[in-house]
Amino acid sequence: MTDVNDLPVEVLGYIFNLAAEDERSTPSTLRLGRYLRFWGGKFHSACAPFVFLSVCGHWRAVAEATPLLWTPLDATMRTACRGALMPIEALEHWLSLSKSAPLEFFLQGSNREDDASKEEVAAHTDAMLDVLANQAHRWRSAAFEVDFHLAGVLVDMLLNQFNPLSLPNLKKLEVVAFYDKRGPLPVEDLARAIGGIQSLKELYLYMHHDECVPSLLRDIPWGQLTTVYLGMDLSVHQVATILALSSSAVTATFDGVYGAPVSDSNEQRSTLVRLKTLTMNGREGIFSLLDRFNFPGLEQLNIISSSYSNDEPLKRLVERSPSRIRQIGLHVKGRLSGSDLAKYLRMLRQVSHVEFNATGVREIAPSAVDQLKDDIPVLWFWRPFLGLECIGWKTQFDRTDGQVIRITPATKIVT
């Protein structure tokens, strides 16, 4: 049997990387990435990949020769202990271990700190950003949680220190901006800075600023983005404008849509050829967007709303493309009657994967089955781990779905 130390360096490094994956955490608000993070004083001896450095000389050499072990990285460099700030040299060291590998990192401002430590933490964050700026050519994915101070420093760097060629490899940018009592965030300048990143493909913005929308529409190059995530209040008309501009988008998410429906006249209808996944969270007016556009490639649709009374746009969408849409998820913020549930399940019966969530949905499901008889696929109940209760059907369940129960008529449940 081959000894593990006889494996090629590349294979052993790959195994190390798989082991380190479980030690990476998701510190960002949007929970989009997993990052190598530092907790107290145990990180250098107890967790992968640091533990590999102390096993033996060969393992240390393999770990240091495997750049992907050391990125993605939480560059915030603050430990769980209050006031414990990692020195600049620590970040410089971990960046040197990742050599020339594409860099993915997360950096958090001081907004979550108490007032007494904000100034010290802000200075520490500035120093970490300066170190990262020296590796700007390596940035592939950058995630920032910014307060008033860090937002200003970041915008100044992007607009005044960098040029259009400074970030040739940056594909993904995540910016979460929290309310800060110290002053308004420079949203217009941030939008202008983002507009100068020519390589950008994925953009995730989460902020609470209604006044920022005009600058977003004007300055951000929507046409080059393949992924759009906007976690902010937007009117239905503003979402329609952004979607119309996002001609290359494959995935689009709008979290916080309000306002009256848009016109569904054929003269105004646009075609989103590349869009495959669309997620919308908001009021009933969002359904009108399904009539505002043609979605020839749409495969997955997720809608979260407090009202589902206007079902006609969804019905027309399903009728136009019953075979292309593979998955539809509907989440109702509140309760639903058994007859309303039956209406939607019948409407979606040609879709191979349907998930429906509402308060008490498990209790009303048997009455819906009673009404539908054999007019829909077999109806199931499941509760995904860390997720909401679901009613619906899909072609295959797995261990992440938790307990799966078949719903039958007259409240009879068969496991």
Q: What are phi and psi of 243, to 5 degrees?
A: -60, -40
Say what the pLDDT of residue 413 is: 46
Say what the pLDDT of residue 208 is: 74
Tokens encoding 90:
């620590």
Query: Average pLDDT, stretch 54-64?
Result: 84
pLDDT in tens, 187-205: 889 999 999 999 999 999 9
Residue with tokens 């995530």, as numbered in its chain: 229
Say what the pLDDT of residue 1 is: 46
Give the chain's end-to-end CA distance (angstroms, integer).
Answer: 45
Between 280 and 261, the more confident residue is 280
Q: What are phi and psi of 118, to 5 degrees?
A: -55, -45
Given phi > 0 = left and psi -120 to 50 = alpha, else beta, which region is 384? beta
| Residue 35: CA count within 13 A, CB half-sphere | 26
Q: Is the pLDDT of residue 262 over 90?
A: no
Confidence of residue 81 (pLDDT cuts 50, 70, 90): low
The angle at the Cα of 71, spanning 66 to 73, to the nearest 5 degrees, equals 145
Confidence of residue 206 (pLDDT cuts 50, 70, 90): very high
Say what the pLDDT of residue 15 is: 84
| Residue 26: CA count within 13 A, CB half-sphere | 6
Cβ atoms of 125 and 150 closer than 8 Å = yes
Say what the pLDDT of residue 371 is: 81
Between 134 and 57, the more confident residue is 134
What is the DSSP track for 135-177?
Answer: TGGGEEEEEEEE-HHHHHHHHHIIIII--TTS-TT--EEEEEE
Say what the pLDDT of residue 79 is: 60
Confidence of residue 2 (pLDDT cuts 50, 70, 90): low
Strand partners, 280: 254, 303
pLDDT in tens, 354-404: 999 888 888 888 888 888 877 788 889 988 765 778 889 998 888 888 888
Q: Is the pLDDT of residue 414 over 50?
A: no
User: In whole angstroms, what is the distance from residue 6 CA to residue 216 CA?
Assistant: 55
Say what the pLDDT of residue 177 is: 87
Supply the mean pLDDT for the chain: 84
Say what the pLDDT of residue 207 is: 86
Q: What are phi and psi of 75, to 5 degrees?
A: -85, 5
